[in-house]
Amino acid sequence: MIRLLRLLQGYVLFVAEGGFVERFLNLCKINGISLWDIKNDGVKVKAFTSAKDFDRINLAAERSGMTIIVEENRGLKTFATRNRLRVGAVIGVFLAAMITIYLSGCVWSVEIQEKDGVKPDNFTQTLAELGVKAGARKSKIDILEVQDELLKRHSDLLWVSLNIFGGRAQLEYTLVNEKTPSDETLLPTNLVSAKKGVVTLVECYRGTPLVKEGQHVAEGSVLISGVVANANGTEALVQAKGKVFAKTENVIVASAEGGRPGKVSIGAEPCYGVSFFGTDIPLGRSDSGELSSATRIFCRGYEGQLPVGFIRCDYLSVGDGSIALDDDKQSLALLLECVEDKRSQFEGARLKNVNYSRSLNGGRVSVSAKITCIEDVSVEKTISVEKN
Amino acid sequence: MNKRLIVTDCESVIDYSRDAVVLCLGDKNLRVRGSDLTVNSFCFGQTDITGEIVCVEFV
């Protein structure tokens, strides 16, 4: 910072010789002449001083018998004096600055996000008519007015935002979505229980709840009724909405006999090739199977092994078959199958307890799982209305 | 190794040669000996000396 200030104000590097150095320095100090980077090489003294102080240094030099020689003169004033005849350069710098200032106040590009299959060209024409185009002055663009006008002219626009970042005008928008048709029927419904259990939580959004927490419910019993009593004593039929959570017990049974279906090895197919100086050249190709082993046999010369030889690759072919399992593995496979099959049935349920059991009868393995969980047991059931 | 010495309340320079700077500090004189000594600033009562300073002593 100090260097920049000194450069702007201007400074002089001078050499003083021939007199009393100490007296010269003391006289400079007394007269308020600031010196820096003073070096004395035994013959002469070099120092820096500001351009303003240098004008007053001659008095101190005379009184101490020193001769001052200027070695270097730097600063903004010196630079301007040296280049005072270079008018063209000054004009060029000035013009460049003016052009840059002018161009920075213009829009250079208009960017419209492409969304929902709508092409930006739809809005480019409208924006150009409203004054938002390349070359337009930013100060003359009223963003709020442009946004309002865009919404008026394009009825499919739900929301629009115009922002100007530097020289780039960016338009963002959201289209009006088509309303999806409701799949609700007009028939009144009850919410009935799909399983038997003990109610733990009743969430009734619409309708009349007929059960409460702790109550046992059977399969098919009405949980939330679609019949709603009005304040004037009349009744209305509605589509009951809500959730009724109950603690249920579910039993899953699975059994199997013999082996399990799966992929088994049905044979190995050899393929041969040649290895030549590190490069393997196959002499055949196996289209099916996986590589199970590869054997290389190299030729031998008088002094040892040569980098030339033969390769044999064995490819294993697999096919559908039956895998023999012992009772434990068979039980585990049955359990895993059950879990996968019933996964969607218990989606959203909170498992409380699971008990597994296995039984062996001859060659048949049976597994059963007793699952206690808390789940939403409510399902919709249409209320049948008889017309008199 | 380059060292830096800042001396405040320096009244004047008594001797300034290539390998020594003697400063007047009122009732005492301070001699700084070394090599390649540079007086970075000499004004406003503070003297800043850098270079291969070997010895600083009151004389």
pLDDT per residue over A23-43, tens digit each?
A: 888 888 888 888 888 888 777
Please tell me the predicted confidence (pLDDT) of residue A210. Answer: 93
* Chain A residue with the nearest C-alpha to that of B38: A39
Assess if residue A33 is contained within a domain.
Answer: yes
Does B14 touch chain A if contact means CB atoms closer than 8 Å? yes
Please tell me the predicted confidence (pLDDT) of residue B45. Answer: 63
Please, are residues A224 and A191 in contact by the beta-carbon 8 Å criterion? yes
Please tell me the predicted confidence (pLDDT) of residue A116. Answer: 64
Q: Give the range of the structural domain holding residue B26, as residue numbers without chain letter.
A: 3-58
Measured between beta carbons, the chain B residues lying within 8 angstroms of A64 are none
Does B29 touch chain A if contact means CB atoms closer than 8 Å? no
Amino acid letter at A268? A
Question: Same domain, yes or no, for A318 and A382?
Answer: no
Question: Same domain, yes or no, for A352 and A253?
Answer: yes
Contacts of A276 (CB under 8 A, 6+ apart): A307, A308
CATH number at A151 reads 3.10.20
Does B39 touch chain A if contact means CB atoms closer than 8 Å? yes
Question: Same domain, yes or no, for A199 and A155?
Answer: no
Coil, strand or helix at A61 = helix
Question: Same domain, yes or no, for A219 and A268?
Answer: no
Interface contact B39-A42, CB threshold 8 A: no
CATH number at B13 reads 2.60.40.2000
Burial class (CB in 10 A: 0-12, 13-18, 19+), A374: middle
Please tell me the predicted confidence (pLDDT) of residue A219. Answer: 92
Measured between beta carbons, the chain A residues lying within 8 angstroms of B14 are 22
Interface contact B40-A21, CB threshold 8 A: no
Looking at the structure of chain B, the number of domains it has is 1
Amino acid letter at A165? F
Question: Same domain, yes or no, for A65 and A139?
Answer: no
Kindly tell me if the per-residue pLDDT of B16 is higher than 70: yes
Interface contact B41-A35, CB threshold 8 A: yes
Looking at the structure of chain A, the number of domains it has is 4
Q: Which of A262, A263, A315 lies closest to A289, judged by CA?
A: A315
Burial class (CB in 10 A: 0-12, 13-18, 19+), A217: buried
Question: Same domain, yes or no, for A8 and A77?
Answer: yes
Please, are residues B4 and B52 in contact by the beta-carbon 8 Å criterion? no
Q: Give the range of the structural domain holding residue A61, as residue numbers without chain letter.
A: 2-81
Assess if residue A90 is contained within a domain.
Answer: no
Measured between beta carbons, the chain B residues lying within 8 angstroms of A42 are 17-18
Please, are residues A24 and A61 in contact by the beta-carbon 8 Å criterion? yes
List of chain A residues with pLDDT < 50: none
Assess if residue A91 is contained within a domain.
Answer: no
* Chain B residue with the nearest C-alpha to that of A25: B13
Q: pLDDT tens-digit profile of A213-228? A: 999 999 999 999 998 8
Question: Same domain, yes or no, for A290 and A155?
Answer: no
Question: Same domain, yes or no, for A158 and A213?
Answer: no
What percent of chain B lies above the pLDDT cut of 70?
92
Question: Same domain, yes or no, for A341 and A251?
Answer: yes
Question: Same domain, yes or no, for A294 and A251?
Answer: no
Assess if residue A95 is contained within a domain.
Answer: no
The CB density around residue A298, as the number of other CB atoms within 10 Å, is 14
Last residue of a domain, one of A274, A307, A323: A323
- Please name the member of A33, A37, A40 whose beta carbon is closest to the beta carbon of B16: A40
Assess if residue A92 is contained within a domain.
Answer: no
Please tell me the predicted confidence (pLDDT) of residue A30. Answer: 84
Between B17 and A139, the more confident residue is: A139
Interface contact A34-B18, CB threshold 8 A: no
d(CA A81, CA A91): 16
d(CA A366, CA A252): 11
The CB density around residue B42, as the number of other CB atoms within 10 Å, is 26
